[in-house]
């Protein structure tokens, strides 16, 4: 049974979301919880690569079993950009507004609005690595809609809904999100280990 796992983040919202889904016998520690203040490299060219880099760093430097996530918005007409560069699409030091403005600009006149959010979680237990993925398919709107959430939420409508992530609010979004789907897979896997 896994009693302790480090989640390679200090993001309070992510921690809360993950602890809520992985409730039970596994304690989830943050980076602060293991006194890690390092700037962990995220230099891979894929979401999988970055999630693995972060998890391997913690395992190697701190010795803990751990997991790390990476998320990107993949837009079909833009050959899956911004993808792994979602956080810095408009350049280093730019905020979510600038990223959204760049995306709207790139999508001007584009009739294919299909996009997806993809979260990858890399887990290392003992010396074994596992990867989990959560995907939400949807489309990019032509103007920002809604105030809730973060990142590209005002621009993304998940399939079968009529509201953007930013219009639907965090409660519903967190139930159906790419991150929630990936974390649920992680939780299901961990519960098979605790049954052993
Ligand atoms: P991270 O890997 O969770 O840090 O996400 C990287 C970037 O993807 C963020 O800085 C956001 O721009 C974007 N992003 C990730 N998750 C979401 C989401 O749920 N909604 C909107 N944007 C997101």
Contacts of 13 (CB under 8 A, 6+ apart): none
Q: Which residues are the active-site residues? A: 70
pLDDT score, position 196:
59
Spatial separation of the C-alpha atoms in residues 165 and 145, rounded to whole Å: 9
- pLDDT tens digits, 129-155: 999 999 999 999 999 999 998 999 999
Residue to mutate (ligand 1; options 90, 150, 171; most atoms within 8 A of CB): 150
> If you measure from the C-alpha of residue 114 to the centroid of ligand 1, how many angstroms do you get, rounded to a whole number?
17
Cβ of 162: how many Cβ atoms within 10 Å? Answer: 8
DSSP states of 8-19 as a string? S---HHHHHHHH
> Could you tell me where the DSSP H helices lie in 63-177?
96-106, 165-168, 170-176
Residue 195 in this model has a pLDDT that exceeds 70: no
Q: How far apart are CA 143 and CA 167, in angstroms?
A: 13
Structure tokens at 190: 């961990």
Q: Are the C-beta atoms of residues 185 and 133 closer than 8 Å to each other?
A: yes
> pLDDT category, 24, cuts 50, 70, 90?
confident
C-alpha closest to that of 40 among 57, 28, 52? 57
Highest mean pLDDT among 7-16, 154-163, 170-179: 154-163
Q: What pLDDT score was predicted for residue 170?
A: 87
Please compute Rg for the chain using Cα positions: 17
Average predicted confidence (pLDDT) for the chain: 94
CB 194 within 8 Å of CB 2: yes
Contacts 24+ apart (CB under 8 A), 144-148: 144/100, 144/104, 148/173
pLDDT at position 177 over 70: yes
40-69 pLDDT, tens digit each: 999 999 999 999 999 999 999 999 999 999
Q: Quote the pLDDT of residue 145.
A: 98
- For residue 16, name the pLDDT band (cuts at 50, 70, 90): confident
CB distance 177 to ligand 1 below 6 Å:
yes
Contact 32, 15 (CB under 8 A): no
Residues 86-107: tens digit of each pLDDT: 999 999 888 999 999 999 999 9
Tokens coding 183: 């974390």
Index of the ligand 1 atom closest to the CA of residue 177 = 19
Distance in Å from the first CA to the final CA of the chain: 7
Q: What is the pTM of this model?
A: 0.95
Owner of token pair 């993808």: 83
């Amino acid at each position: 049974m896994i009693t302790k796992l480090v989640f390679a983040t200090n993001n309070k919202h992510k921690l809360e979301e993950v602890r809520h889904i992985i409730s039970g016998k596994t304690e989830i520690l943050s980076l602060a919880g293991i006194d890690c203040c390092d700037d962990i490299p995220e230099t891979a060219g894929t979401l999988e690569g970055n999630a693995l880099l972060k998890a391997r760093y913690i395992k190697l430097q701190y010795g803990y079993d751990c997991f790390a996530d990476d998320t990107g918005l993949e837009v079909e007409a833009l050959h899956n950009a911004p993808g792994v560069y979602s956080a810095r699409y408009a350049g280093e030091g730019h905020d979510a507004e600038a990223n959204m403005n760049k995306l709207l600009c790139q999508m001007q006149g584009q009739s294919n609005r299909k996009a997806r959010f993809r979260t990858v979680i890399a887990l290392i237990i003992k010396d074994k690595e596992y990867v989990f993925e959560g995907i939400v398919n949807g489309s990019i709107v032509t103007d920002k809609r809604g105030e809730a959430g973060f990142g590209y939420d005002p621009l993304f409508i998940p399939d079968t809904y009529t509201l953007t992530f930013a219009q639907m609010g965090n409660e519903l979004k967190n139930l159906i999100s790419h991150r929630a789907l990936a974390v649920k897979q992680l939780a299901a896997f961990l519960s098979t280990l605790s049954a052993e």
